[in-house]
Amino acid sequence: MKDIDLTLLEQPYDAKRYETLLYKKWEESGYFNPDNLPGRHATPFAMVLPPPNVTGTLHCGHATMLAIQDAIVRFKRMQGFKTLWLPGTDHAAIATQSKVEKDISKKEGKSRYDIGREELLKRIAAFAQESHDTIINQCKSMGSSLDWSREAFTLDEPRTRAVYTAFKTMYDAGLIYRGHRVVNWDPKGQTTISDDEIIHEEREATLYTFKYGKDFPIPISTTRPETKFGDVAVAVHPEDSRYSAFVGKTIETDFCGSLLSIKIIADRNVEKDFGTGALGVTPAHSKIDEEMAYTHNLPFVQVIDEKGKMTSGGEDIVGKKTAEARELIAQRLRDAGLMIEEKKITQNVSTAERTGGIIEPLPKLQWFVAVNKEFPFPHKDKAIAKEGEMVTLKILMHRAVESGTTTILPDRFAKVYEHWINNLRDWCISRQIWYGHRIPIWYKESAIHCGPSAPEGDGWAQDEDTLDTWFSSGLWTFSTLGWPDETTDFKMYHPNDLLETGRDILFFWVARMILMSTYLIGEVPFKHVYLHGMALGKDGKKMSKSSGTALDPLEVTEKYGTDALRMALIVGNAPGNDFKLFDEKTKAYKHFANKIWNASRFVLSNTQGVIINENTLNAAHQALLLEWRNVLREITEDIEKYNLYLAGEKLYGFFWHRFADVWIEDSKTWFQSDEKESAQIFMRILLEEQLRVLHPFMPFVTEAIWRIMHGDSKESMLMIQPWPMN
């Protein structure tokens, strides 16, 4: 065994000295690409990186995701798996366009309509590229061993082809349709938005209880009296004796100068003990009321427009913003003696995440994915359903998890997932913005064509809308592998073995990937789902830039090193649970990195030239080695079950409190006795095995030490050394 240059270990561990250098060496080795791994790597293991939005910079959520995923990937690679971790970014249509539009408005005082579609898209592309470059560099700074040769972008040409193939397949099957439905409308952004793009803010509101008119027999309560011009019914519980005599009747009444025709209906969804027990039904401005309208065959009367202004209510109301109209109507009710009660309450107000606009539920002509429509399952030789079996998209989504084909960790989220699927409505996939995949529908008079390009001939016009970003990201596990072609990557790596992501997008991304994959491919997109929680401050509260509690991961790594941050993000972070991240915790793991460095220096300085032969250990050292191997077995099992927080904690505790505090101290005596050779072999085995096991968690400091021990050839890199339990 060659002599080791111990002078390289004399100074305290300096993360800045090694991290950039080592990452460059890893990249140059080509081992991030599974095609280049040594021959023992045969069985595939695949993960995709949940694509960060090209809208900004790395935050603690991204850092958590990268630390957990890279630890798993490095573990699997060392176990001998042909490990693929596929990177990419998401164009995040609304978020990205909104940022660029705000910048244009601030600097030039212009809107998108002033500069036009082509110029706006040009500026967005430049912004997205700059953000992409920043994000990729930040991912690398976290030590992420991603296969950059396979990097994808949701809006690049291969993914665009996949999107249009998926759209046409579902359109031809009748699962994508255009129709009038109540959607989330953002008056500021002038587009529909998905539920996940809504921020619910607690605000003070007034609950008004009143009668529509003097002769109307039933009082109702609402926080939005301005929408009552669109009421077509009052719903009561069928067992509410107070109102049973009115059920089935239609009553005409004057509401603030407008004639309403109100049908009294019985519906079990009404809570008879809440408020007056009667609900004014406004189908055009409430998703809940929309469902009642379909059940009871009620008309839709729209009284608010796309700019959030009134279109009904008389000359002094029409054209007013809803908040202003609300107070005018309330005063009219007071003046007419119709107001029964006004009570201050706190309610959740739906606002658009990107613009801050208050959401208006509006009936709009939009494109939808039908989740309850039956169709014959189009695939053969698939476990999720039999070919020709009548199913719905919701049935396929249920079966994926119910059957155990896809498992969710922690398992309590499986019930949350099932509950959400049970209540899933048709998915609105169209957006009134310019950035994104434009809907591949073409119109010419009464003719409609679906395809990526127009048919031959003049006069065809493409639909102006773009697709919801989640439509393209829903294809992520297979579009990144070359689908719709049957590529080698697709055959080898789909379904993915694991999807690791935040618990907050279980519905919006995870569920949609299951929907798209089970229908288009006939199989689940991934075998396991690992959901991590949210990073909280030391006080247990959500981190916030405005309150100064948000930690910038790059500032943390600059101060304490990447390995320290990775350990702080993993230890104490049980799947699905929120966890605390604070300065002192990360600082403690910086000390741990230095402890590993110093312990390695001590062991190596006392084992120069030793030839490792485990069979020559004495009985005492064999017993101690067995103690470590039992801990190693537990750590391995923990990682295989994706309980990284337990594995990291055990590894930290063993290295510091057993290996360093006890055995290194004992070895100072052993090295001076006739047990010296056995002690040298024992301590060297312990060091090398612990460096291997620490590597997925703390790749930089362990690779730096390993390089000093074994040289800098790519074949000797720690990242491809066998896991000790192999």
What interhelical angle do 699-710 and 583-605 show, nearest 10? 10
Those residues with Cβ within 8 angstroms of residue 6's Cβ, 6 or more apart along the chain or in another chain: 601, 604, 605, 608
Those residues with Cβ within 8 angstroms of residue 424's Cβ, 6 or more apart along the chain or in another chain: 371, 394, 397, 511
pLDDT-above-70 percentage for the chain:
98
Instruction: Give the Cα separation of 302 and 354 in Å (integer).
Output: 25
pLDDT tops 80 at residue 544: no
If you average pLDDT over residues 688-710, what whole number do you get? 97
> What pLDDT shows up at residue 548?
58
3-state secondary structure of 650: helix
Residues 471-487: tens digit of each pLDDT: 999 999 999 999 999 99
If you average pLDDT over residues 353-376, what whole number do you get? 93
Specify the pTM.
Answer: 0.90
Sign of the torsion formed by the C-alpha atoms of 591, 599, 144 and 17:
positive
- Between 57-66, 151-160, 446-455, the lowest mean confidence (pLDDT) is in 57-66
Residues 230-244: tens digit of each pLDDT: 999 999 999 999 999
When the pLDDT of each residue in the chain is averaged and rounded to a whole number, the result is 93
> What pLDDT shows up at residue 195?
75
Confidence class of residue 504 from pLDDT cuts 50, 70 and 90? Answer: confident
Confidence class of residue 553 from pLDDT cuts 50, 70 and 90? Answer: confident
Confidence class of residue 6 from pLDDT cuts 50, 70 and 90? Answer: confident
- The residue ranges of every structural domain in the chain are 1-150+533-726, 168-185+366-397+413-467, 191-364
Residues 610-655: tens digit of each pLDDT: 999 999 999 999 999 999 999 999 999 999 999 999 999 999 999 9
Q: Which amino acid is it at 342?
A: E
Where does 191-364 sit in CATH, by number? 3.90.740.10
Cβ-in-10-Å burial (0-12, 13-18, 19+) of 483 comes to buried
Helix/strand/coil (H/E/C) assignment for every residue in 172-191? HCCCEEEEEEEEEEECCCCE
569: which 2 tokens?
């993000």
| DSSP labels, 668-710 | HHHTTSTTHHHHHHHHHHHHHHHHHHHTTTSHHHHHHHHHHHH
> What pLDDT shows up at residue 546?
47
457: which 2 tokens?
């001939």
Residues 25-76: tens digit of each pLDDT: 999 999 999 999 998 889 999 999 999 999 877 788 789 999 999 999 999 9
Residues in the chain, overall count: 726
CA–chain centroid gap for 700, Å, is: 27
Instruction: Give the Cα separation of 167 and 467 in Å (integer).
Output: 10
pLDDT tops 70 at residue 250: yes
Query: Regarding the domain delimited by 1-150+533-726, which CATH topology (the fold level of the hierarchy) does it fall under?
Result: Isoleucyl-tRNA Synthetase; Domain 1 (1.10.730)
Confidence class of residue 196 from pLDDT cuts 50, 70 and 90? Answer: low
Residues 563-573: tens digit of each pLDDT: 999 999 999 99
Q: In what order do the strands lie in the sheet with 176-186?
A: 191-192, 176-186, 360-369, 427-428
Residues 330-354: tens digit of each pLDDT: 999 999 999 999 999 999 999 988 7
If you average pLDDT over residues 317-342, what whole number do you get? 96
DSSP conformation class of 643: -
pLDDT tops 70 at residue 1: no
| 657-664: Cβ within 8 A, 24+ apart | 658/627, 658/628, 659/599, 659/628, 659/686, 659/690, 660/595, 660/599, 663/624, 664/599, 664/602, 664/603
CA contacts within 13 A on the Cβ side of 245? 3
Q: Which residues, in sequence order, are bridge partners of residue 111?
A: none
420: which 2 tokens?
């959400």
Helix/strand/coil (H/E/C) assignment for every residue in 351-400? EECCCCCECEEEEEEEEEECCCCCEECCCCCCCCCCCCCEECHHHHHHHH
Residues 292-302: tens digit of each pLDDT: 999 999 999 99
Residues 157-186: tens digit of each pLDDT: 999 999 999 999 999 999 999 999 999 999
> What pLDDT shows up at residue 5?
86
Confidence class of residue 726 from pLDDT cuts 50, 70 and 90? Answer: low
347: which 2 tokens?
């309610």
pLDDT tops 60 at residue 12: yes
